[in-house]
Amino acid sequence: MIEKIHIFDDIIDKKEQNKIEEELLGRHFSWFFLDDVSKIKNDKQQRHAFSHYFIENGKINSDKLDIIKNIPINACSKIKFQIKGISMVRSFLQLPLSNNLLTKELDTPHVDSYEEHLVVLYYVSDSDGDTVIFKNEFKKNSQIEEQKFIELKRISPKKGRVVLFNGKLYHTANQPQKKVRTIVNFNLL
């Protein structure tokens, strides 16, 4: 698995970037409500969002997968990562929250999966709501509440930008305050 965090702008050409943005933010794309964007059953935080699963548990779940297929191919070729499988591909749409104390706190740190994987995170449009990656790695018997999280890298959402990192690293985001934050998250094996 990779050890470094990689960031590439314009991972796909502008025409593809625009097509993805128009599709995901268009009137006919299927979004599904989440009580909390970073954790199921999070009674403490409850930062509502919407999701769309392109692939779930290794099975295709969406007829829109074709429009995003070049993102992981282009990104992984830049770091010479051989894709052996795809466990999950999902998109999240977060609406801006008003400027209050809730938006100053980070969302709950999490890992997408407990299996070894590469995260490829693609930003659909320019937004606020930085992604934060921590030095902390998931360990089988450790509790999230017991950890003191140490920030490793902060990345601002920019249309066409992609971030690649080891899926064992805890990560999260700030809630957007000004614009809709939309990402596509690939978990690759």
What confidence tens digit (pLDDT) does each residue in 43-73 have?
555 678 899 999 999 999 999 999 999 999 9
Is residue 161 packed enough to be buried (19+ CB in 10 Å), middle (13-18) or exposed (0-12)? buried
What confidence category does residue 83 fall into, taking pLDDT thresholds of 50, 70 and 90? Answer: very high
Check: CB of residue 26 under 8 Å from CB of residue 20.
no
pLDDT at 127 over 90: yes
Cα–Cα distances in angstroms (integers) from residue 58 to residues 1, 3, 13, 31, 187, in the given order:
19, 24, 27, 20, 10
Does residue 101 have a pLDDT over 50?
no
Domain boundaries defined on the chain: 6-26+49-188
C-alpha closest to that of 159 among 13, 17, 24:
17
- Read off the pTM: 0.91
Mean model confidence pLDDT for the chain? 89
Superfamily of domain 6-26+49-188: q2cbj1_9rhob like domain (2.60.120.620)
Number of neighbouring beta carbons within 10 Å of residue 70: 14
